[in-house]
Amino acid sequence: MTNTVRQGIEECYMYVTTPIYYPNDKPHLGHAYTTILADVISRWFSLLGYNVYFLTGTDEHGLKLQREADKRGVSTKEFVDQMAGVFKEYWKVLGIGYSRFIRTTEQEHEEVVKYAVSRLWDRGYIYPGKYKGWYCTACEKFYGEGEYIIENNTPVCPTHRRYLEYIEEDTYFLRLSLFKDQVIKLLREGSIVYPKHFSDEVLSKIESEGLQDLSIARPKSRVSWGIELPFDSRYVIYVWIDALLNYLTGLGYPKDMNRVERYWKNSVQLIGKDILWFHTAIWFALLAMLDLPPPNKLLVHSYLTVKGQKMGKSLGNVVSIDDMIKRYGNPEVVRFIIARIANYDKDVEVSWDVYDSIYTGDLLNNYGNLVRRATTLTIKTLNGRATRDLDGEFANTIDELKERSINLYNSFEISGAIKHALDILHETNAYINRREPWRTSRPNQTIYTVLEAIRIASLLFYPIMPVTVGGILNSIGLDRVGQGLEQFRLGYVDEYSVRESPIPFKKLQ
Ligand code: ME8
């Protein structure tokens, strides 16, 4: 990936997406988790010079929204309009720099869904039939035998722990079964799904249960809030088919296929593991039916948990984004903590103790103190000016950590990338202690090298805390962050002009 950047940045396009969230309530820390990771990835590749298009939004159709609006006594349209605004507000506070916020109730999207479904119908991928089964409204999903739990002799949703509803109705099916071998091939041979064990999980499910045709229509008598099925007005389209297609609407499908192709080739889709099946078995098949390749990368992360249970509205154990912002007084600290704890493989338990120690250890004592120490030293011993004179030996140590961090960023391992950036700061603190620049009459080399190390670590933090890092760089005389890898070279800056000694992070109350 690094090489591609060097070859010519005008060629590099990237498409980053988050799931579109159900706006039945305000977003919680679980939604922020995926959205912050996606934003950091977007900002990282933009920093390298990629042309990144970042899509997020809200999934506004289906029974879940219809029922929630009924409960609150407002029309569904009014409700989703209001809630989409709430999501945008949160993302603004958290500095989420999306390129487009898509809503599935937009006319453009409705047209795309009708177009795509008509195409599937014309090609014979859809046929009428009857469906019987147990349905979870919270998941908007039918559960087959063996997939649900039994409590009091009644099927219960394994995710939401609530009773399933028995539904028997006429519907239309999508011939997913036709694409079974193709999906298996993509999962087995491709390196689309990361981490890989998630694709193995889907593979073994398909191998043991097959890939069943999917019911994709809901009678309006039961679900009225949805996009009408183009060839039978008694039905609306299943919310998941509607929702998945948002990723194509976001790029201008089908009107601007050049643009779709340009970005889709290098698409990076982030999801939580709860919606893995939809984004592999169903999504890959749906794309194939429309003659489109699967995404380039599907990044799947595990859950934020509270007492071992997935955090979620249905379980009533959500940690609020507001509480976290209030605690640290800076939304960018929330971004840092989330990026620092992020884990694709394992669930992460929410813990204020861990969060506090990240804040105090990494930001206040490590980063903040080093910046203060270095700037004070520059002002006291060099009148605020340090000129290029790199200590080659120490620069090598920093270089190695920097390369590791960049490589991890390029493979989407954000928390690992942060760890190496923090190591740069640790090493630099130790280097100052060893060199004691205040004791020598010629401290320029040490101080210049220290400022370079701070600059490199700051660049590595830039996608996570753009405003805070921008302020820190400013205080050492650097006005703007450039694009491309060249700026990551040690010795890149001619001269530092330190104006002030900032206090970027304050002690916790
Ligand atoms: O599933 N830990 O929307 P949704 C980690 N509309 N991530 C979490 C989380 C947790 N405890 N809770 C939520 C939907 N998330 C559909 C998606 S896409 C075409 C349609 C995050 O509001 C995580 O990204 O239920 C998860 O996949 C997503 O929110 C589910 O959001």
The residues spanned by each domain of the chain are 2-349, 352-497
**Residue 15 and residue 246: Cα distance in Å, rounded?**
13
**Residue 116 and residue 45: Cα distance in Å, rounded?**
31
Angle at 305 between CA 136 and CA 67, to 5 degrees: 30
Dihedrals φ, ψ of 59, to 5°? -105, 100
Ligand 1 in contact with 19 (CB < 6 A)?
A: yes
- Tell me the two tokens of residue 271: 């999801």
Identify the residue with better confidence: 147 or 314.
147
Catalogue the active-site residues: 28, 31, 136, 139, 157, 160, 310, 313
Which residue has the CA at smallest separation from atom 28 of ligand 1?
A: 272
**2-349 has which CATH code?**
3.40.50.620
- Tell me the two tokens of residue 486: 């060249």
Which residue has the CA at smallest separation from atom 31 of ligand 1?
A: 21
Q: What separation in Å is there between the alpha carbon of 287 and the centre of ligand 1?
A: 21
pTM for this predicted structure: 0.95
Average pLDDT, the chain: 95
Q: Is the pLDDT of residue 376 over 50?
A: yes
Indicate the pLDDT class of residue 140, thresholds 50, 70 and 90.
Answer: confident
Indicate the pLDDT class of residue 10, thresholds 50, 70 and 90.
Answer: low
For 152, residues 6+ apart whose C-beta sits below 8 A from its C-beta are none
CA count, 13 A, side-chain hemisphere, 68: 21
Q: What separation in Å is there between the alpha carbon of 15 and the centre of ligand 1?
A: 19
DSSP β-ladder status, 235-237 and 51-58: unpaired
What type of residue is 472? Answer: I
Q: Is the pLDDT of residue 7 over 80?
A: no
Q: Is the pLDDT of residue 1 over 80?
A: no
User: 100: part of which helix (H) or strand (E)?
Assistant: strand 100-103
Q: What's the DSSP call for residue 428?
A: H
Dihedrals φ, ψ of 433, to 5°? -60, -40
Ligand 1 in contact with 274 (CB < 6 A)?
A: yes
Which residue has the CA at smallest separation from atom 2 of ligand 1?
A: 303
Q: What separation in Å is there between the alpha carbon of 19 and the centre of ligand 1?
A: 7
Indicate the pLDDT class of residue 144, thresholds 50, 70 and 90.
Answer: confident
**Contact at 8 Å (CB) between 456 and 486?**
no
Per-residue model confidence (pLDDT) at position 218: 93
CA dihedral 415, 339, 460, 91 (to 10 degrees): 160
Dihedrals φ, ψ of 381, to 5°? -95, -20
**Residue 334 and residue 347: Cα distance in Å, rounded?**
18
- Please list the residues that pair with 56 across neighbouring strands: 101
Which residue has the CA at smallest separation from atom 15 of ligand 1?
A: 30
Tell me which residue has tokens 């992360």.
301
Per-residue model confidence (pLDDT) at position 5: 45
Ligand 1 in contact with 243 (CB < 6 A)?
A: yes
**Contact at 8 Å (CB) between 225 and 68?**
no
Q: Is the pLDDT of residue 187 over 50?
A: yes
Q: Is the pLDDT of residue 2 over 50?
A: no
Distances (CA, A) of 174 to 99, 134, 213: 32, 19, 5
Which residue has the CA at smallest separation from atom 8 of ligand 1?
A: 30
- Per-residue pLDDT tens over the stretch 299-311: 999 999 999 999 9
Indicate the pLDDT class of residue 190, thresholds 50, 70 and 90.
Answer: confident
- Per-residue pLDDT tens over the stretch 379-417: 999 999 999 999 999 999 999 999 999 999 999 999 999
- Per-residue pLDDT tens over the stretch 228-277: 999 999 999 999 999 999 999 999 999 999 999 999 999 999 999 999 99
Ligand 1 in contact with 33 (CB < 6 A)?
A: yes
Q: What separation in Å is there between the alpha carbon of 449 and the centre of ligand 1?
A: 44
**Residue 472 and residue 125: Cα distance in Å, rounded?**
57
Which ligand 1 atom minimizes the distance to the CA of 21? 22
- Per-residue pLDDT tens over the stretch 459-470: 999 999 999 999
Top-tier CATH class for 352-497: mainly alpha
- Per-residue pLDDT tens over the stretch 86-116: 999 999 999 999 999 999 999 999 999 999 9
